Amino acid sequence: MFCRVRSMGLSGIEAFPVMVEVDISRGVPEFTLIGLPDAAVRESRDRVRSAIHNAGLHFPVSRILVNLAPADIRKTRPVYDLPILMAILLATGQVEFPQQQYAFVGEISLSGECLPIGGVLPMAMLAKEMGCTTLFVPAGNAQEAAVVEGIRVVPVSSLAALVEQLSGTQPLPVAVPTPFEQVDASYPVDFSEVKGQRFAKRAIEIAAAGGHNLLMIGPPGSGKSMLAKRIPTILPEMTFSEAIETTKIHSVAGMLPHGGSLIRQRPFRAPHHTISPAGLTGGGSIPHPGELSLAHHGVLFLDEFPEFSRQAMEVLRQPLEDGTVTISRAAGRYTYPCSVMLVAAMNPCPCGYYGHPTRKCICQPSAVSRYLAKVSGPMLDRLDLHVEIMPVEFEQLAGEEQAESSAAIRERVNRARQLQYGRLQAMGVEHPVCNARLSPRQTQQLCSLTEPARQLLKSVFDRMGMSARGYDRILKIARTIADLEQSETIDTAHISQAIQYRSLDRKYWERG
């Protein structure tokens, strides 16, 4: 007896079709699994055997050969338990279903329970592309799969329940997707709690609106970490396609909560400075997404920036520029997206008080230089906006004045972001990006300056010895500043503000 059941595997964040073939023949009872399975997949044999027994079904006493086709792609995750089971039950006449239309993925426990797996969202997208009408997934993953329109998603809680459903007369239970509406998230923190710091808040607003990288530098206790923690409260709403992309990565990393659906809030990842380079970019023999990719379409916050290892900083450089990170392994290359807004915070020197208005720095000048040099020139160049965070004065701190709330800032950020997306959509771009991610050609098209603004930029460019990248970034920041004012043209005021946010390196890194 021979039969086939459709399933899927994962490579990076993309799914690929797998056909589970089962051949049951007479002979010495044995159970063989081929098709390049790794150890976790090979152990499927024992799980399948026990699950069938424990669900009160019949396990054939015959020669069973299971092949996971195509045989040249390594199968790495224990997602084939369910399709293997179904193929055996189908071949032995214990269940019946339309093989071409149904697809299965899921891990099974010894007791026959169906356990959640990673990567269900990309699998569901592929199942639909493959023309399947129905996808059976672990109940814990059903909400995630139901996001994909045009395919029925059946939640499977246990093998016994599934067999009963397939042989019964009742229609199969189908997961209903939760509608994609913007959640009005409430946060335990708010920008209104931060007194003063107008300049810094403005920089954060610009960064959030255009997706620009940001560096905050200042003495201890001046509020850098406090400001950074409040960034999620003003990030722009996610579009549906952004939410899908971010969810795919978290799904593959197995980080979606049980029963979770689409991620609707931009991620904010704040790894500790002891993180390894592989922890940032992704790693392991079958590479998992790293912090960079987990922050896709959101914020990667690196507090105490100079404390990160040299290698950790170096591996960030290319992905920050490209928006993707590629990991090479013997088995192939894996590419994960990582379009992130990097926010870095640091003290200006080991004691922390270099440049402080009232306290004296006790560091040797060479120690200050060494400390600052940990942030290399190329890295500094990638940090679009630089702000100095100086301690607020007593009057401000103790004052009654109520600062602006996150909700008010967020509204401006949202409007500015919509303007950016609308502009690209009008040009026929299918997946619009924020200003920080504009291609060189788009930058040229969309960031045209008035003549006085051009003159101003030219004079500053010559005077500051700006790099081509610096020039490009100033244009984009000025675009965002104009967007926040709902202005289509970029004028001198926008350019001069943008320049202000890129001149801090002169005070610290280029001390004469």
Return the C-alpha torsion angle 478, 480, 486, 489, nearest 10.
Answer: 30
| Contact flag: residue 224 with ligand ATP (CB under 6 A) | yes
User: Which CB atom, from 224 or from 356, has the smaller least distance to ligand ATP?
Assistant: 224
Ordered DSSP codes for 467-507 = -HHHHHHHHHHHHHHHHHTT-SSB-HHHHHHHHHTT-HHHH
194 binds, among ligand ATP, Mg ion, none (CB under 5 to 8 A by kind): ligand ATP
Q: Minimum distance from CB of 216 to ligand ATP (Å)?
A: 8
Q: Which residues contact 273 (CB under 8 A, 6 or more apart)?
A: 302, 303, 304, 305, 307, 308
Binding piece for ligand ATP, criterion CB under 6 A, among 100-108, 124-132, 222-230, 454-462: 222-230
Tokens of 91: 């071949």
Q: In which element (H, E) is residue 165 found?
A: helix 159-167
167-196 binders of ligand ATP (CB under 6 A) = 194-196
Q: Rounded to an integer, what distance in angstroms lies between the CA atom of residue 299 and that of residue 118?
A: 23
195 binds, among ligand ATP, Mg ion, none (CB under 5 to 8 A by kind): ligand ATP
Binding piece for Mg ion, criterion CB under 5 A, among 184-192, 225-233, 355-363, 452-460: 225-233
Candidates 29, 220, 257, 377; binder of ligand ATP (CB under 6 A) is 220
Contact present, 151 and 135 (Cβ < 8 Å): yes
Q: Minimum distance from CB of 504 to ligand ATP (Å)?
A: 16
Q: Rounded to an integer, what distance in angstroms lies between the CA atom of residue 375 and that of residue 307?
A: 10
Q: What residue number has its CB nearest to Mg ion?
A: 225
User: Which CB atom, from 132 or from 389, has the smaller least distance to Mg ion?
Assistant: 389
347-376 binders of ligand ATP (CB under 6 A) = 347
Q: Rounded to an integer, what distance in angstroms lies between the CA atom of residue 162 and that of residue 362?
A: 71
User: Which CB atom, from 31 or from 508, has the smaller least distance to ligand ATP?
Assistant: 508
Q: Minimum distance from CB of 194 to ligand ATP (Å)?
A: 5
Q: Which long-range contacts (CB under 8 A, 24 or more apart) does 456-463 make?
A: 456/492, 456/495, 456/496, 457/495, 457/499, 460/499
Q: Minimum distance from CB of 114 to ligand ATP (Å)?
A: 45
User: Which CB atom, from 373 or from 397, has the smaller least distance to ligand ATP?
Assistant: 397
Interaction mask 379-398, ligand ATP, x per CB under 6 A: -------------x----x-
Candidates 3, 19, 189, 226; binder of ligand ATP (CB under 6 A) is 226
User: Which CB atom, from 351 or from 495, has the smaller least distance to ligand ATP?
Assistant: 351
226 binds, among Mg ion, ligand ATP, none (CB under 5 to 8 A by kind): ligand ATP
Strand, helix or coil at 31?
strand
201 binds, among ligand ATP, Mg ion, none (CB under 5 to 8 A by kind): none
Report the greatest alpha carbon distance in the chain: 89
Binding piece for ligand ATP, criterion CB under 6 A, among 11-19, 67-75, 109-117, 213-221: 213-221
Strand, helix or coil at 129?
helix
Q: Minimum distance from CB of 188 to Mg ion (Å)?
A: 18
Binding piece for Mg ion, criterion CB under 5 A, among 69-77, 195-203, 220-228, 491-499: 220-228
User: Which CB atom, from 125 or from 345, has the smaller least distance to Mg ion?
Assistant: 345
437 binds, among ligand ATP, Mg ion, none (CB under 5 to 8 A by kind): none
User: Which CB atom, from 6 or from 356, has the smaller least distance to ligand ATP?
Assistant: 356
Candidates 210, 223, 287, 290; binder of ligand ATP (CB under 6 A) is 223
User: Which CB atom, from 218 or from 287, has the smaller least distance to ligand ATP?
Assistant: 218
Strand, helix or coil at 62?
coil
The two beta strands, 268-269 and 282-283, are: unpaired
User: Which CB atom, from 45 or from 224, has the smaller least distance to ligand ATP?
Assistant: 224
Binding piece for ligand ATP, criterion CB under 6 A, among 26-34, 214-222, 416-424, 470-478: 214-222
User: Which CB atom, from 74 or from 195, has the smaller least distance to ligand ATP?
Assistant: 195
Q: Rounded to an integer, what distance in angstroms lies between the CA atom of residue 100 and that of residue 314?
A: 48
Candidates 165, 192, 225, 497; binder of Mg ion (CB under 5 A) is 225
Task: Identify residue 382 by its one-letter amino acid code.
Answer: R
| Contact flag: residue 221 with ligand ATP (CB under 6 A) | yes
Tokens 């100033």 sit on residue: 474
Q: Rounded to an integer, what distance in angstroms lies between the CA atom of residue 511 and that of residue 137?
A: 60
Ordered DSSP codes for 81-121 = HHHHHHHHHHHTTS----TTTEEE--EE-TTSBEEP-S-HH
User: Which CB atom, from 151 or from 215, has the smaller least distance to Mg ion?
Assistant: 215
Q: At what angle do helices 81-91 and 44-54 cross, to 10 degrees?
A: 60
| Contact flag: residue 414 with Mg ion (CB under 5 A) | no
Q: At what angle do helices 468-484 and 492-500 cross, to 10 degrees?
A: 120
Q: Rounded to an integer, what distance in angstroms lies between the CA atom of residue 264 and that of residue 183?
A: 7
Tokens of 281: 């970019």
Q: Rounded to an integer, what distance in angstroms lies between the CA atom of residue 107 and that of residue 116?
A: 7
Positions that interact with Mg ion (CB under 5 A): 225
Positions that interact with ligand ATP (CB under 6 A): 194-197, 218, 220-226, 347, 392, 397
